[in-house]
Amino acid sequence: MGIPFGYVLFLAGTVMVLGMICAAARRNLIMILLGVEVMLNGAAIAFIGAALRWQQLEGQAFVLFIIAIAAAEVSLGLALIVYLYHRTGSLDPEDYQVLK
Amino acid sequence: MTLFNILFFAIAALIVASTGLAITRRNLVHAVIYLIFGFFGSAFLFYLFGSPFLAALMVIVYAGAIMILFLFIIMMLRVEAPEERLFPPRQIVPAVLLAAAYVVIGGLLLINDPSAATPLAEARTEPSAFGRYIFTQSWLAVEIASLLLLVAMIGALLVGKRPAREDEE
């Protein structure tokens, strides 16, 4: 009865790695932010699995805070992206060479 | 193979497939829509793991608010999609190599760890019990999170209000 806890951790790790690939390999600021969202999602899956594994509510409470922090991070990140786009007219991080 | 197991594997396949599709799309709108499917999968997983409140929150906040914010920004900026070179090799090769190494090593670690094989018992947290726990055991963290949201809102307002394209680019 029940799936092993390792499977849940493996799923969380896979989602985290997918987000990492997205954040490291895409060349678009919006896709990089999406990759960060995917990584947060993987962390939330791991926390929910751990909450069920040890029958504690702390894991679920942490997922609540992950969701709150993701909302804060996305609102600020998207505002910065809009500002950068209006300033430079591009979303490619390699185009931001003002200081160079 | 109980129904619980079948549901878990189906949902896991759904999450990985839609997330994998999302991160490889060239069109940003398609990527966001696929990611919404992935977050729906996570919500199902949360429900299966016995926290219906967090599942609802995942749909409302993540899929409903955060991803729609992404859609608004994409439509507002009117980015022409094909100009992005998808996965330039000098970025994708190290990323995929590192990711494969992490998956292999993590899988080996989980296979060799005896405590990772403990089966998960079914449990269910009622939203009222969860709320009581949150507001008695971690009320300070709730206050800090609300303060963080307020700060983020003020910051987003300030950054977004700045008059754009003043002088140089």
CA closest to B127 among chain A residues? A60
Q: What angle do CA B16, B20, B21 make, to 5 degrees?
A: 120
Full-model pTM: 0.87
Q: Over pLDDT 70: what percentage of chain B?
A: 90
Give the pLDDT band of residue A85 (cuts 50, 70, 90): confident
- The structure tokens 């090769």 sit at B93
* Confidence at residue B164, expressed as pLDDT on a 0 to 100 scale: 53
Cα–Cα distances in angstroms (integers) from residue B144 to residues A4, A22, A73, A76, B70, in the given order: 35, 30, 15, 17, 25
Mean pLDDT, chain B, integer: 85
CATH topology of domain B3-125: Four Helix Bundle (Hemerythrin (Met), subunit A) (1.20.120)
For chain A, the domain total comes to: 1
- Hey, are the CB atoms on A22 and B42 less than 8 Å from each other? no
Q: Which domain holds residue A86?
A: 29-93
Chain A residues inside the 8 Å CB shell of B85: 27
Pick from B54, B116, B159: CB nearest A5 = B116
- pLDDT for A79 beyond 70: yes
- pLDDT for B117 beyond 60: yes
* Confidence at residue A3, expressed as pLDDT on a 0 to 100 scale: 82
* Confidence at residue A42, expressed as pLDDT on a 0 to 100 scale: 93
Q: What is the mean pLDDT of residues A18-24?
A: 90
What string of DSSP letters covers A38-80?
HHHHHHHHHHHHHHHHHT-SHHHHHHHHHHHHHHHHHHHHHHH
* Confidence at residue B84, expressed as pLDDT on a 0 to 100 scale: 62
ipTM summary value: 0.88
Residue A69: which CATH number?
Answer: 1.10.287.3510
Q: Which of residues 141-160 of B touch A (CB under 8 A)?
A: 141, 145-146, 148-149, 151-153, 155-156, 159-160
* Confidence at residue B169, expressed as pLDDT on a 0 to 100 scale: 44
Q: What is the mean pLDDT of residues A15-40?
A: 90
Mean pLDDT, chain A, integer: 87
- pLDDT for B128 beyond 50: yes
